Amino acid sequence: MLEDMKVPWVVLGHSERRAPPFNESNEFVGKKVAHARFHGLSVIVCVGETLEQRESGRALEVIFEQLQAIADEIDDREHSSWGSQVVIAYEPIWAIGTGVVATPEQAQEIHAGIRQWLADNVSEEVSKATRIQYGGSVNAENCVKLAQFSDIDGFLVGGASLDGDAFVKICNSSAVHYKAVGRL
């Protein structure tokens, strides 16, 4: 249906789909990413951990398992699609819609870990090209500080997008970052 409507992007792997009642597994999300790519759709794929997983020191392990399931489904010939057609959105489950946000340092740590995982498990080229967005309760108050970190390549915005002034500020904070790192 999205293909027929010429919608170019789809969000997959959001925590609401990974949780009951849908219970989408990492492997199922990987297959959905491959299916969307097969049909020419670009994908924003969400990864993230629960508060329990974070507190037990397993945040990166959980995220790496999610990434591996996606990488397993993207054909080697498609590695060039990472970055231009596959964007990763780090959404700490414990921060979505709660008003609690990861500190900029926590978000940067996870983003840097994702970028390193891509370099180690896909390629250095993919690691450099892939956009990694932050999506855990981004708002007009925290966006500027988050955007200053080198591995945070923009935002997947939820509720804050409903406030026009806040959304413009969030968009502008990302534009400043992109210019600073030469990606705009």
Active site residues: 14, 91
d(CA 44, CA 58): 23
Q: How far from 75 is each of 23, 35, 81, 127, 146, CA to CA, in Å?
A: 25, 11, 10, 16, 33
The 3-state DSSP class for residue 37 equals helix
Residue 103 burial (10 A CB sphere; 0-12, 13-18, 19+): exposed
Phi, psi of 42 (to 5 degrees): -90, 150
